[in-house]
Amino acid sequence: MSLRPLLATVGLAIAALATVAGTMTAVPAGSAATANVVTPGSFRGYGFDQCLAPSQTTMNAWLKHSPFLAVGIYISGASRACRSQPNLTPDWVATQLRNGWRLLPITLGPQAPCNPRFPRYGNDPVIRSDPGPNKNYGKARKQGAAEAGRAVAAAQALGISAGSTLWYDLEGFDQSKVRCRKASLAFLSGWTRGIHSLDYVSGVYSSAGSGIWALDQARVETPTLYQLPDQIWIARWDGLANTSTSYIGDDGWRPGGRMKQYVGGHDETWGKVRINIDRDFLSLGKPTAPPERHCRGVDVDLPDYPRARTGADPAVVKALQCLLTEQKAYDGRVNGVYNAKTLAAARAWQQSHDLPVRATFNRRSWMSLLSVGPRPVLKTGSTGSDVRRVQRVLNAAAPDTGLAVTGLFDKRTDAALRAWQRAVDRKAEGVVNPSTWTALAAGTRA
């Protein structure tokens, strides 16, 4: 995006599904997978975008080693570049979503009539600037609605489910030209109306000083004249991983309606794979993690997991008994008393997990027990029970960690993970990948 070629292509046959006589029509569910999760949904974390949809090898390497968990993919638009997309298929989309990636499907179609870089190919349309008899730029609005239909057809063909956000890329233009600005706003209004009518969420990407500024001015000064997008993607290369910009009001699209492209095109290498990207920070929706209940209400989310032994804090012993019960390693009472049955279960756990067998259940043993379960890749933006397990394990690894066990992989969790990685001489990537899980389960400590 933004001064760089963009991606994706959709056949004319797909586009034809979305338009009849230049107007938008409903598009039936495509033949691609329809059970994919909504994307990006609620997410607060890091993303990237580039021209071509990356190969599966790249996506796998970057999932395991990079800070990113969201990726921009251009799915439609006559003015896009990178028209050859060998990687972007329904299987590719389903695989990334299954692996935990959040996808940002983007369309680059007609551009502002005062943008000198478009049409890109000579025959790709630009936004119609004719105000019309009612001065409401009806032709531009119809263009936007038709482009929404084509975008939804492309999304459905790739298996991108209804409820997902589809982003329109309006490249930077001279917003001081009133007619050009109004035509562009009318187009984006038509886009949002069309996207909503087909059960998707409307997003708009543009530069902070032109398209985003114009949208915010419309929000403040003429809120009923245009149908505004649900979410905005601000292009502002200030190097700050947040969603702020001085070009628009702090109250616009907040909370949960902004993301920002904060670094432009540059090379990055993760997992020994190097590509050229833009960096993004997302703050969309309100990420949550479902509550958990253990052993009829026993608290297993402790700020610290000291040695469990005879005379230990009953809350600590009760958490141990509960967790061992859930692993079918203890069938006694969950009463907070470190009795003979608890001691036997603790020793059996240590022996079966190649840990020193002791009369106490130490931090290494806690780490082993707390890490049991699935081993997905986790990083900033991840949510759920697997994140809770990581937060518990980190609390067990060092007595002064004190993470709140929320199920949200936030800045504090990232910092605690990196601190542990540095302490045990691992690369401080801030990613819980397969090798990290193995080390945590082994009770690796400084």
| 247/250 Cα distance (integer angstroms) | 9
Residues 271 and 138 in one domain: yes
Which strand (E) or helix (H) includes residue 206?
A: strand 201-207
Residues 248 and 322 in one domain: no
Residues 214 and 270 in one domain: yes
Q: Is residue 181 part of a domain?
A: yes
Q: Give pLDDT, residue 32.
A: 53
Give the number of domains in the chain. Answer: 2
Residues 411 and 319 in one domain: yes
Residues 253 and 324 in one domain: no
Q: What is the CATH number of the domain that holds 191?
A: 3.20.20.80
- For the question of whether the overall pTM of this predicted structure is more than 0.85, the answer is yes
Q: Is residue 297 part of a domain?
A: no
Residues 237 and 333 in one domain: no
Which residues span the domain enclosing 167?
12-284
Q: What is the CATH number of the domain that holds 375?
A: 1.10.101.10
Q: Is residue 214 part of a domain?
A: yes
Q: Give pLDDT, residue 389.
A: 98
Determine the length of the chain: 446
The helix-helix angle for 434-441 and 363-370 (nearest 10°) equals: 140
Q: Is residue 329 part of a domain?
A: yes
Residues 277 and 318 in one domain: no
Q: Divide the 446 residues of the chain into consecutive groups of 10 and give the mean pLDDT of each group.
A: 36 34 38 77 97 96 98 96 90 98 98 97 96 97 98 98 98 98 98 98 98 98 97 98 97 98 98 98 98 97 98 98 98 98 98 97 98 98 98 97 98 98 97 98 96
Q: Give pLDDT, residue 28.
A: 43
Residues 344 and 232 in one domain: no
Q: Give pLDDT, residue 19.
A: 34
Residues 140 and 190 in one domain: yes
| 5/69 Cα distance (integer angstroms) | 22
DSSP string for residues in 263-297: EEEEEEEETTEEEEEEEEEEEES---------TTT
Phi, psi of 368, rounded to the nearest 5 degrees: -60, -45
Residues 340 and 263 in one domain: no
Q: Is residue 337 part of a domain?
A: yes
Q: Is residue 247 part of a domain?
A: yes
Residues 248 and 115 in one domain: yes
Q: Give pLDDT, residue 34.
A: 57
Q: Is residue 292 part of a domain?
A: no
Q: Is residue 300 part of a domain?
A: no
| 162/166 Cα distance (integer angstroms) | 10
Residues 323 and 413 in one domain: yes
